[in-house]
């Protein structure tokens, strides 16, 4: 399976040791090159450490989350010229300055914010905004979503070392799920897939994350107008501040019947179950 590599490993237990074949999540560089319409050549725009697979989605999602493109029509064509290289031709109307190129050139798998010059430069204005105080949903319905994402994480179940991001509609149906060794890469892949499938904006949807909630993950999700972010792990202080500023309902430490609600509690029914299913129209402007 792509994205997994097997390694002979000595497994130590309380009573004996054994030689086993362990599945490891692959971490490898992906270079994104952008066509320069003026000089008629491709130039390197970004290098990220990622798990191979869904690389075009990763590149498209990254460009959207960085504010480089606003819709799939901004991309004229793309090609995978090698396993670790994506070449993209943007519309001539998309103008990149040297600052965009300099701050995006390298991204580690652990944190996409690393290497950027300041937080102010990545606090982009969202392309979309979530509706205020709606949709309204019972908290128990959202708390059930991480378990569904876990069941869809085939790479995690084999390796135990990979992150997941899932997009759900307001009926609790999993629409898309993507995995990667990097949290931000998993979300970029999800965004890229949604762009290609015309599932943007996310104003009546929930984003579920398998790990902790960083500032950058909230920033990326805010670009699509997401009203709900639910995660298994903890949020950072800056992630909470940004979610509050963007009007996002942010829920962390979600496990079983427990969770912490950090922002946007006005969208949640907490005291009693909802008597009817949510019928909000999905992905309407």
Is 84 contained in some domain? yes
Residue 144 sits in a domain whose CATH number is: 3.40.140.10
- Residue 86: per-residue pLDDT: 97
Residue 114 falls in the annotated catalytic set: no
Among residues 97, 121, 145, which one ends one of the domains?
121
- Residue 105: per-residue pLDDT: 62
Mean local confidence (pLDDT), 274-285: 41
CB under 8 Å to 16, separation ≥6 — which residues? Answer: none
Same domain, 99 and 186: no
- Residue 82: per-residue pLDDT: 78
Count of domains observed in the chain: 2
Q: Quote the tokens at residue 98.
A: 């040297």
Same domain, 88 and 46: yes
Ranges 8-17, 31-40, 94-103, 167-176: which has the least confidence: 94-103
Same domain, 110 and 187: no
Q: Quickly state the pLDDT bin for 272 (edges 50, 70, 90).
A: low
Is 253 contained in some domain? yes
- Residue 101: per-residue pLDDT: 66
Is 82 contained in some domain? yes
Same domain, 115 and 202: no
- pLDDT exceeds cutoff 80 at 260: yes
Q: Quote the tokens at residue 216.
A: 């950058």
Same domain, 170 and 255: yes
Average pLDDT score over the chain:
87
Same domain, 155 and 228: yes
Is 229 contained in some domain? yes
- pLDDT exceeds cutoff 70 at 108: no
Say which residue, 280 or 151, is predicted with more confidence. 151
Same domain, 115 and 153: no
Among residues 86, 121, 156, which one ends one of the domains?
121
Catalytic residue among 111, 114, 127, 246: 111
- Specify the length of the chain in residues: 285
Q: Quickly state the pLDDT bin for 127 (edges 50, 70, 90).
A: confident
- Residue 278: per-residue pLDDT: 41
- Residue 116: per-residue pLDDT: 47
- pLDDT exceeds cutoff 70 at 121: no
- Residue 110: per-residue pLDDT: 57
Same domain, 263 and 153: yes
Q: Quickly state the pLDDT bin for 118 (edges 50, 70, 90).
A: very low
- Residue 276: per-residue pLDDT: 45
- pLDDT exceeds cutoff 80 at 212: yes
- pLDDT exceeds cutoff 90 at 184: yes
Where would I find the H helices in 98-226?
Answer: 98-104, 139-143, 145-152, 154-159, 183-196, 215-222
Residue 21, Cβ density class (10 Å: 0-12 exposed, 13-18 middle, ≥19 buried)? exposed
Is 155 contained in some domain? yes
- Residue 122: per-residue pLDDT: 47
Ranges 2-6, 19-23, 220-224: which has the least confidence: 2-6
CB under 8 Å to 247, separation ≥6 — which residues? Answer: 129, 130, 132, 227, 264
- Residue 65: per-residue pLDDT: 92
CB-based contact 50:180 (threshold 8 Å): yes
CA angle 225, 230, 232 (to 5 degrees): 150
Residue 63 sits in a domain whose CATH number is: 3.10.20.10
Is 8 contained in some domain? no
Is 278 contained in some domain? no
Same domain, 57 and 107: yes
35-85 residue pLDDT tens: 999 889 999 999 999 999 999 999 999 999 988 999 999 999 999 987 799
Domain containing residue 185: 137-269
Q: Provide, for the chain, the percentages of residues in helix, strand and coil under a 3-state DSSP scheme, each rounded to the nearest 5.
A: 30, 35, 40
- Residue 280: per-residue pLDDT: 41
Residue with token string 């496990």: 255
Same domain, 108 and 142: no
Q: What is the pTM of this model?
A: 0.87
> Using omega within 30 degrees of 0 as the cis cutoff, is the peptide bond preceding 135 cis?
yes
């Amino acid at each position: 399976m792509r994205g997994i590599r097997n390694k002979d490993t000595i497994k130590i237990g309380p009573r004996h040791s054994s030689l086993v074949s362990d599945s490891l999540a692959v971490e490898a560089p992906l270079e994104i090159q952008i066509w320069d319409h003026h000089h008629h050549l491709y130039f390197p725009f970004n290098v990220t450490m990622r798990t191979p697979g869904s690389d075009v989605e990763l590149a498209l999602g990254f460009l959207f989350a960085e504010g480089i493109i606003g819709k799939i029509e901004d991309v004229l064509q793309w090609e995978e010229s090698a396993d670790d290289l994506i070449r993209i031709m943007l519309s001539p109307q998309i103008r990149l300055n040297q600052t965009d190129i300099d701050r995006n050139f390298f991204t580690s798998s652990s944190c996409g914010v690393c290497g950027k010059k300041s937080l102010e430069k990545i606090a982009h204005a969202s392309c979309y905004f979530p509706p205020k105080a709606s949709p309204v949903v019972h908290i128990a319905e959202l708390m059930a979503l991480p378990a569904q994402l876990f069941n869809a994480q085939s790479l995690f179940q084999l390796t135990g070392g990979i992150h997941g991001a899932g997009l759900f509609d307001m009926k609790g149906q999993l629409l898309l799920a993507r995995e990667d060794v990097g949290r931000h890469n998993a979300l970029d892949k999800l965004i890229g897939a949604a762009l290609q499938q015309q599932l943007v904006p996310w104003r009546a949807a929930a984003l579920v994350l398998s790990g902790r909630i960083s500032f950058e993950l909230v920033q990326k999700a805010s670009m699509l107008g997401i009203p709900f972010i639910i995660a298994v792990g903890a949020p950072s202080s800056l992630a909470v501040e940004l979610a509050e500023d963007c009007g996002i309902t942010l829920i962390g430490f979600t496990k079983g019947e427990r969770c912490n609600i950090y922002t946007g509690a006005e969208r949640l029914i907490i005291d009693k179950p909802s008597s009817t299913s949510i019928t909000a129209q999905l992905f309407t402007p």
